[in-house]
């Protein structure tokens, strides 16, 4: 089902970023990576510093290299 949702969203032009945190299951990793728009849109973090870096990298990509994007909870 997730693959279908991702494919439909991408077909409509939605840019998808994925961030996994402490996930070791390869099937899950592959599924979530495939959902991302490209390999550059998929992040895997093993610890909190990696998670922070993943969100920062995604925000920088979204902003086109600018640091003007802010991600809030």
Question: How does residue 17 score in pLDDT terms, banded at 50, 70 and 90?
Answer: very high
Residue 1, CB-side half-sphere exposure with 13 Å CA sphere: 0
Q: Tell whether the model's pLDDT for residue 67 goes beyond 60.
A: no
- Residues 33-61 have pLDDT tens digits of 999 999 999 999 999 999 999 999 998 88
Contacts of residue 49, Cβ cutoff 8 Å, sequence gap at least 6: none
Quote the tokens at residue 13. Answer: 């032009």
Torsion from C-alpha of 28, 31, 37, 42, nearest 10 degrees: 20
Identify the residue with better confidence: 59 or 72.
59
Contacts of residue 62, Cβ cutoff 8 Å, sequence gap at least 6: 17, 69
Tell me the pTM: 0.79
Q: For the residues 9-19, what does the mean pLDDT come to?
A: 91
Longest dimension (CA), the chain: 35
Instruction: Report the pLDDT value the prediction gives residue 35, as an integer from 0 to 100.
Output: 95
């Amino acid at each position: 089902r997730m693959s279908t949702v991702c494919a439909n969203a991408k077909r409509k032009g939605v840019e998808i970023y994925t961030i996994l945190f402490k996930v070791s299951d390869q099937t899950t990793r592959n599924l979530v990576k495939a959902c991302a728009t490209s390999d550059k849109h998929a992040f895997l973090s093993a610890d909190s510093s990696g998670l922070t870096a993943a969100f920062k990298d995604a925000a920088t990509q979204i902003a086109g290299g600018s640091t003007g994007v802010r991600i809030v909870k």
